[in-house]
Structure 1
Amino acid sequence: MLDILILLVLVAGIVLVTARWKVSPVLALLGAALLGAFAYRIPVADIVTTITTAFGGTLGNIGLVILFGTMIGVLLERSGAAIAMAEALIRLIGTRFPTLTMTVIGFFVSIPVFCDSGYVILNSLRKAITLRTGVSTLATSVALMTGLYATHTLVPPTPGPLAAASNLGVENLGLLIGIGLPVAAVAALAGMLYANRFLHTKLPPITTGGDDMDTPEAEQTYEELRAGYGRLPHAFAAFMPILVPLLLICFGSIAKLPGRPFGEGVPFEIIGFVGTPVIALMLGLVVAASLLRGNGKLDTFNSQIDEAIRVSAPILLITAAGAAFGAVLAASPLMDVLGDSLSGLGIGLAVPFLIAAALKTAQGSSTVAMVTTSALVAPLLDSIGLGSTMGATLSVLAVGAGAMVVSHANDSYFWVVSRLSGIPVATAYRSLTVATAIEGTAAFAAIYVLGLFLL
């Protein structure tokens, strides 16, 4: 019982210092790892080795994958490729069903682009579709928000799923992508259906008193935003930086299946090499770089890569710090206690989902929730019946589903959506927060059903 109490104190401490006092999650996780090592009486001579080995090993395993994925996302954002993808999907789907259009756009754009950035980029497009179709701003906002959120937490190469996969020992990213995409589609569909209830809801005016935020300053129109990018990339070229690495990773996974579908020898070695996540994303980066236009392309490329490095650095460090915290827990007697307790409950995939949901709701960051939860759960997989490759893969997705539940005032994404869309805070709680709860629950329901057949 004491071991469990120590864990609760450590997790509560992480939430308190990150959410209330705004301490960096990196320091919070490393501090929890150090305090936990002493509290669990790990030999002093082993503490530093345990922390640094897990920290460095995680950076070595997943660091370049997160870095290259972030670089692709920044290049797509800055080159106008995200707008080009959105326009292509509008031509394909049309504007007859605006919530479906916004959901699908968000679903694809957020595979490489962070959901916060994706909403900022696509908000002017959302406003244009809202005006063109005459539906409520609230409906299109919820649809875009949930569409972006679905792939942000469930489909690599977004950093959250990558970090969780690393912590849980999932090396087959092709399998994770192949299962994650349909699960994310279920989550996005649930978000879209919920958005439809607001099709004719008129928003109340935003007030400046209480907890409501001021009305945002005048923004660019969609036409002004589009013109700012100059000539947009062709739609096919815009999708290629996403499709190339995803397809290569999937082919690489298929090539390694028993029976060797692509044969042995040189073809197997080539497909296996280019299907390695690091190489696949590196090739995707090369394709993304080809989207840059105009004079000074090299300077533009260098500046955007520098930006991507600045964006990815905190994520890399949070992921590594979370792994260090998890390594300390794995070396403690806590795992035997939890394993015995949880194995008797028979709730399996609900364990990572509920822990991630609790952490997400408490401290706001989906990425921190995914990193911390996966580090906590990793040593427990065998004891809760999820030690197989498929079990670990579904656990990553369960963590991602939990990391959607729920977005509210301590989540930056909540404020990005509500502020840019002009949604009063009280209304945002009743719509955006509820939407993320529904979306995350729907995702977990799909994962649970898959588990009945695949585990």
Structure 2
Amino acid sequence: MDISLARVLICLVAGIAVIVLLTAKWRVHAFFALAIACFLVGLGVGMPLTDVLTSVKDGFGNILKSLGFIIVVGTTLGVILEHSGATRVMANAILKRVGEKRSALAMSLTGFIVGLPIFCDSGYIVLSGLNKSLARTTGISMVIIAVSLATGLYAVHCLIPPHPGAAAAAGIIGVDYGKLILTGIGVAIPAMAVGYLWANYAGKKVPIVIADDEQIIVANTQLPSTLKAFLPVAVPILLIAIKSFFSVEHNTVNPFVNIFNSLGDPIIALAIGVLLAFNCLHTWDKETIGKLLQEGVEKAGSILVIIGAGGAFGAVLAATKIGNHLSDALPLASMGIFFPFLITFVLKTAQGSSTVAIITAASIVLPLLPSLGLDNEKGHLLCVLAMGAGSMMISHANDAYFWVIAKFSGLEMKTMLKVYSVATICMGITSFIIVYLLSFIL
């Protein structure tokens, strides 16, 4: 099937436009938006309907094969930590160490740590009550504390598995999860720092605001100890780090190494985190455990169908040979990691969801990796990190997380745009600069 570049590009733009319009304007679930885009692009370039269906099913199945367990177990871990009150314990422990005078920094660090297993919107809702308490007792502007927490959560959400966007991009592009987590943490730390610094700078120019009280319900009335609260987050990261260290040495004979290679698999490591998280619960009655596991699976289900649809979209794009067309027509080799960053940034700004943006971008970039000079292990890692940086910016009125922050902090739209939205721009640019510097080091 000989297809012209113009026809492929028109169909691609039409597909992206459909995703943006359906998700951002008409609030259609991203799964259906991506599914419709699959058929629009496939049929638009002249693929037979049966071939489109085959590509859709293969793409959907392949991505879930590599990501399904990670997303379910990771989501369940976050749900248990949220309901057990472990997130509150971690926040209070960090605040005690940092001090109330630097409570904004404490909330930024809390967001970063709590955000490793918990989605940014859930983490913000759970910790928003602490935000208000600190604003009252310290006299620090609610804007500063709120945006510090929000950007700390946001930094890891965009860059690190098991968060769905980064995890899906890793599955589509083909990146080792352990290396992505460890390198992503290194990129997310400067992003968090920039978000905190901007919140302090811009927030001082905004009048102090104290939001109305919102009661945050924690299922567990007796909070866990600090050690119990941190272990479900620290142990999986440590196990994954040990596995990445041993994998460098390619030693598969030593049984000790083999044990840690098994325990450091993201699925096993996160499952251990889930067991440790159960230890944060005061009671282990079957009704509570059943509800938490059910909530974790249900929450993961919505994410999995979006990721699966993203994989299907990528398979259809690959079948159109878009990579060959664009590599012949554009100087992609000179763009390198800037191209995945740019396309993810445009998609994020247009339709609001970081997850949809990075999944869609990964599907577009995959066939272009050889032309971009990124068709190797190092290139794949840098590509996913660059897309994570692009998915940070710009968070504004079409982003659900934007409204979560505004609602639970009592901040006006104008204030959110001036402080939080600009912070996401600073974070995205900073993250990309770090990724660019890593391209000379790794």
| TM-score in terms of structure 1 length | 0.92
**1:360 matched to 2:348:** yes
The percentage of aligned residue pairs carrying the same residue is 40
Alignment of 1:1-150 (within 5 A): 1-150=6-155
Rounded Cα–Cα distance in structure 1 between residues aligned with 2:12 and 2:93: 49
My pick for the range that moved more, 393-402 or 93-102, is 93-102
1:440 — aligned with what?
428
Match of 1:178 among 182, 192, 202: 182
2-structure distance, mates of 1:450, 1:114: 26
Tell me how far apart the structure 2 counterparts of residues 284 and 347 of structure 1 sit (CA, whole Å): 40
Q: Deviations over 1:76-132 (max 9, x none)?
A: 000000001111111221222222111101111111111111111111111222222
Aligned mates of 1:110, 1:39 — CA distance in 2: 40
Partner of 1:451: 439
Contact 2:95 2:103 in 1 (8 A): no
5+ long unaligned stretches in structure 2? 1-5
What pairs up with 1:171-250 in 2 under 5 angstroms? 172-203=176-207, 218-220=213-215, 229-250=220-241
Q: CA deviation at 1:219?
A: 2.0
Change (3 A) 1:265 1:320: same
Structure 2: distance between partners of 1:367 and 1:400 = 9
* 8 Å Cα contact 1:50/1:328 also seen in 2: yes
1:259 positional shift:
4.8
Distance 1:276 1:343, change over 3 A: farther
Distance 1:345 1:271 in 2: 39
Alignment coverage as a number of residue pairs: 437
- The one of 250, 253, 256 equivalent to 2:247 is 256
CA gap 1:216/1:90 in 2 versus in 1, 3 angstroms: closer
**Is the 1:119–1:148 Cα contact (8 Å) retained in structure 2?**
yes
Distance in 2 of aligned mates of 1:342 and 1:382: 13
Partner amino acid, structure 2, of 1:236: L
Give the match for residue 269 of structure 2: 280
Distance in 1 (CA, whole Å) between partners of 2:217 and 2:37 is 46
1:193 shift after superposition:
0.9
Change beyond 3 A, Cα 1:199–1:431: closer
Please give the residue correspondences for 1:298-377 in structure 2 after superposition, counting only pairs within 5 Å.
Answer: 298-344=286-332, 346-377=334-365
Q: In the aligned structure 2, how far is the partner of 1:140 from the partner of 1:180?
A: 24
**C-alpha offsets along residues 401-444 of structure 1, whole Å, 9 cap, x if unaligned?**
11110111111111111121111112211111111111111111
* 1:49 aligned partner, one-letter code: T
> How far does residue 344 in structure 1 lie from its aligned partner after superposition?
4.2
Q: Which moved more, 1:193-202 or 1:359-368?
A: 193-202
In 2, distance between residues paired with 1:226 and 1:87?
A: 17
1:118 counterpart SS class:
helix
What are the Cα deviations for residues 45-104 of structure 1, in whole angstroms up to 9, with x where unaligned?
432221111111111111010000000000000000000111111122122222211110
Q: Distance in 2 between matches of 1:93 and 1:268?
A: 37
| Conservation of the 8 A alpha-carbon contact between 1:136 and 1:198 | no
Deviates more, 1:41-50 or 1:408-417: 41-50
> Which stretch of the first structure deviates more once superposed, 263-272 or 83-92?
263-272
SS in 1 for 2:281: coil
Unaligned runs of 5+ in 1: 206-214
